[in-house]
Amino acid sequence: MGFKIMGSKNMSNTRLAWIDILKGIGILSVVAGHIYGGMLGDAIFLFHMPLFFVIGGMLYRSPPSDRAFLHQKAVHLLIPYVSFLILLSAKDVVAALLHIVKSPGLATVSELLQIVGIAVYGGRLLQGWTGVFWFVTCFFLTQQLFHLLYTRCRRTGWLIGGAIALIISTLNTQFFPQVCFPWNANVVFAALPFFGFGFYLKQIQISKLMYGIAAGLTAIALWLISNGYEISYNMKASGYGIPVVTLIFSMAVIICLIGLSQWIAQYLGMLQKGLAYLGTASMVIMYLHQPIQLTLKKLGTDGEIRFLLASLIPIALYFLIKERTLTRAFLLGSPRDFEGFVRPLG
């Protein structure tokens, strides 16, 4: 069984269905990765964040202009990023302000400035409720870099750029793992090969042989993890496992997940609908699952309940968010709704 993302118009609905399923599987793995440790956690960290960069490459289309691409992606990604960051950081800001009122002085003012500074710097410095937000800015920067490479040197630029980025990311993790750029910009070099891999996949058909090789490599990777070998990714902390080897294992797992998503789309109707809806709500789940599961963890809630509620509560909130123009604009990053909202203000 093979697939080709680009193709006839009558394939578009099927394509969107299985990609949403793939996103649904991906976001469930993100939630699980923040709850479970051990072998399961290590296995999830092999692929869960790279998967979303691959999906980004699959969905990339060259826009009419650089400016249009920058504007569209900034609205779609950065407006919700800032909105959720403000909402989830509000409790810390309010607490710092109350501390200043109660005990005015340089120390309490510095505490507030530190909270604001960390929020602005972003990336690896974000922890706790906003710890996963590094992905959004890194994804945005990766999109923009890939776009520049593709539009300037279509045939070879993104391939050469991906290879150079892989070298830089290897040097980063091997010799300078403490490097922490604003918005996790240094992680872009590790993300770009995955984004390019996704772009490559949408132009080919995955053959049975490729699926077989990917399945074999996945089995080897799981065996290595079960025997204590550290081959997982911690992209946020610039931990990229064994150079090239971990990359190949991660890509193999992602190919298997693509095949699984297509199989579910074709044969498992009820599961397809559930995972596809998770996929459409994946960004809201990404933003909100940590506050939910960390709060439940403090209350002593079991991991299974935390996983369930951290997945389902954001879906319910997504249903409410998408019903209002204001929330669609600022929390979902809908360009149409955002432009409609800000145009009268201009």
Half-sphere exposure of 290 (CA within 13 A, CB side): 18
What does the pLDDT read at residue 156? 76
Q: 77 pLDDT exceeds 60?
A: yes
CA distance 5 to 13: 11
Q: Give CA–CA dist 304/32, Å, rounded.
A: 9
Residues above pLDDT 90, as percent of the chain:
78
d(CA 263, CA 209): 17
Q: Would 105 be classed as within a structural domain?
A: yes
The answer as to whether 56 is a domain residue is yes
Asked if residue 3 belongs to a domain, the reply is no
Would the pLDDT of 255 be above 90?
yes
Q: How confident is the model at residue 148 (pLDDT cuts 50, 70, 90)?
A: very high
Tokens of 149: 């490479």
**Into how many domains does the chain fold?**
1
φ, ψ of residue 184 in degrees (nearest 5): 55, 40
Question: Quick one: which H or E segment has residue 309?
Answer: helix 303-321
pLDDT at 345: 57
Residue 269 lies in a domain: yes
Q: What tokens appear for 61 in the block?
A: 């289309």
Q: Read off the pLDDT band of 219 (50, 70, 90).
A: very high
Residue 154 inside a domain? The answer is: yes
- pLDDT-based confidence at residue 13 (cuts at 50, 70, 90): very low
Residue pair 62/6 in contact (Cβ under 8 Å)? The answer is no
Q: Which pLDDT value is given to residue 64?
A: 81
Q: Establish how many alpha carbons lie within 13 A of residue 224's alpha carbon, considering only the half-sphere containing its beta carbon.
A: 18
pLDDT, residue 8, reads 33
pTM of the model as a whole: 0.92
pLDDT classification of 55: cutoffs 50, 70, 90: very high
Inter-axis angle of helices 12-33 and 269-280, nearest 10: 70
Query: How does residue 295 score in pLDDT terms, banded at 50, 70 and 90?
Result: very high
pLDDT digits (tens, 9 = 90+) for 296-346: 999 999 999 999 999 999 999 999 999 999 999 999 999 998 888 776 655
Distance between CA 157 and CA 169 in Å, rounded?
18
Helix (H, G, I), strand (E, B) or coil at 234: strand
Output the pLDDT for position 11: 37
**1 domain-assigned:** no
pLDDT band at residue 2 using 50, 70 and 90 as cut-offs:
very low
Of all residues in the chain, what percent are helix, strand and coil, respectively (each to 5)? 80, 0, 20
Q: Which amino acid is at 119?
A: A
pLDDT for residue 3 is more than 80? no
The pLDDT value recorded for residue 342 is: 73
Residue 264 has pLDDT above 60, yes or no: yes
Question: Other CB atoms closer than 10 Å to residue 228's CB: what's the count?
Answer: 8
Percent share of the chain, pLDDT over 70: 94
Residue 124's domain comprises 9-342
